[in-house]
Amino acid sequence: ANIHISFFEWMTWGFIAMVVYFVIAYVVLMKLFPPDVDKIEGAEEFIAQRIRELGDWTRAQKNTLFCFIVAVILWVTPGILSIALGTTSPVLTMYNRLFPEAIAAMAGALLLFVIPVDFSERKFTIKWEEAKEGIEWGTLILFGGGLAMGSMMYKTGLSSWIGDLIIGGLGGSISQVTMVAIFSVLALMLAELTSHTAATNMIGPLAITAAVSAGLSPVPVSVGIALAASLGFMLPVSTPPNAIVYATGYIPITKMLRTGIIIDFIGIAFVTIPLVVYFVTWVVGI
């Protein structure tokens, strides 16, 4: 739709959603599973001991923190320049040309290979052997494959064809609220059965094209899909954090279903109701 969403703009949306969802999750969990004790005796001493056992920061850890801060600064600088100087500022235009968001990500990663831990022994923060073993290349391929699939749906006209079918099936006219509600619910249902990334990559192109075909802004429905697909609290398969918690053996699937469905229902209401979607788009100014 020829609309570029910067890292800073998305971070604004994500911060609002994070606060809202955190409050929802806290209230639901405290009501369903109130703590048996108010305080665990010796917890502070145990944590302090573990922290002492970690020792001082190593050179590699400091280097990694530096690279991370560099990447974040490069990501958020365009948003700060846009607020301070305006979206048409030549400084902002030059910065975006020299340091696009892809460059920011690559710079942070490549610095790990060139910042030394011990230059005399030619030891750097990370080696390629460590990168091959530590990086989830399958996840990166999933991201890239999803983006490629979405791009091909646009180029081949498949997304426009499906979008026209959706609009036609709804009688040719549809409101922004209905559009957000339909695709957000679809994204949530799919995210419960597959990964959030796959759900967004499959539903996103259809929703954007359908919104454009209906003469509506694709931004609210896109934000709604991203937020709805990030819910998925019911099943371990929907997201790695769920799988990690379930794998501990302390949380049975029945409790995950019971809690997840409540948080999902409340969360999807906050997504589909204009209260959230229109508010965040209004804050960012799109």
pLDDT digits (tens, 9 = 90+) for 134-159: 666 766 776 677 667 767 776 787 76
The separation between CA 1 and the C-alpha centre of its own chain, rounded to angstroms, equals 20
> Are 149 and 267 part of one and the same domain?
yes
For 274, the domain range is 21-35+136-286
> Are 264 and 140 part of one and the same domain?
yes
> Are 177 and 274 part of one and the same domain?
yes
Of 96, 118, 135, the position where a domain reaches its end is 135
> Are 264 and 247 part of one and the same domain?
yes
Q: Is the pLDDT of residue 41 over 80?
A: yes
Q: What would the mean pLDDT of 118-135 be, rounded to a whole number?
A: 80
Of 100, 118, 135, the position where a domain reaches its end is 135
> Are 235 and 180 part of one and the same domain?
yes
Q: What would the mean pLDDT of 54-67 be, rounded to a whole number?
A: 90
Which stretch of 4-13, 17-26, 50-59, 134-143 has the lowest confidence by average pLDDT? Answer: 134-143
* Structure confidence at residue 226 as a pLDDT band (50, 70, 90): confident
Distance, in Å, from the CA atom of 123 to the CA atom of 134, rounded to the nearest integer, reads: 18
| Structure tokens, 170 | 């709804």
pTM comes to 0.66
Residue 79 resides in a domain = yes
Residue 83 resides in a domain = yes
Question: How many domains does the chain divide into?
Answer: 2
Residue 16 resides in a domain = no
Q: Is the pLDDT of residue 69 over 60?
A: yes
For 78, half-sphere exposure in the C-beta direction (CA atoms, 13 angstrom radius) is 25
Q: Are 39 and 269 in contact (CB under 8 A)?
A: no
Residue 13 resides in a domain = no
> Are 225 and 126 part of one and the same domain?
no
* Structure confidence at residue 47 as a pLDDT band (50, 70, 90): very high
> Are 115 and 185 part of one and the same domain?
no
Name beta bridge partners: 118.
123
> Are 91 and 146 part of one and the same domain?
no
Residue count of the chain: 286
Residue 1 resides in a domain = no
> Are 111 and 174 part of one and the same domain?
no
Q: Is the pLDDT of residue 234 over 70?
A: yes
Q: Is the pLDDT of residue 278 over 80?
A: no
Distance, in Å, from the CA atom of 19 to the CA atom of 15, rounded to the nearest integer, reads: 6
What percentage of the chain reaches a pLDDT higher than 90?
5
Residue 8 resides in a domain = no
Residue 217 resides in a domain = yes
Residue 117 phi, psi dihedral angles, 5° rounding? -95, -40
Answer with the residue of higher pLDDT: 86 or 282: 86
Burial classification of residue 153, based on how many CB atoms lie within 10 Å of its CB (0-12 exposed, 13-18 middle, 19 or more buried):
buried
Residue 187 resides in a domain = yes
Q: Give the model's pLDDT for residue 143.
A: 65
Please name which of 146, 79, 100, 99 lies closest in space to residue 286, comparing C-alpha atoms. Answer: 79
* Structure confidence at residue 66 as a pLDDT band (50, 70, 90): very high
User: For all residues of the chain together, what is the average pLDDT?
Assistant: 80
Of 70, 101, 135, the position where a domain reaches its end is 135
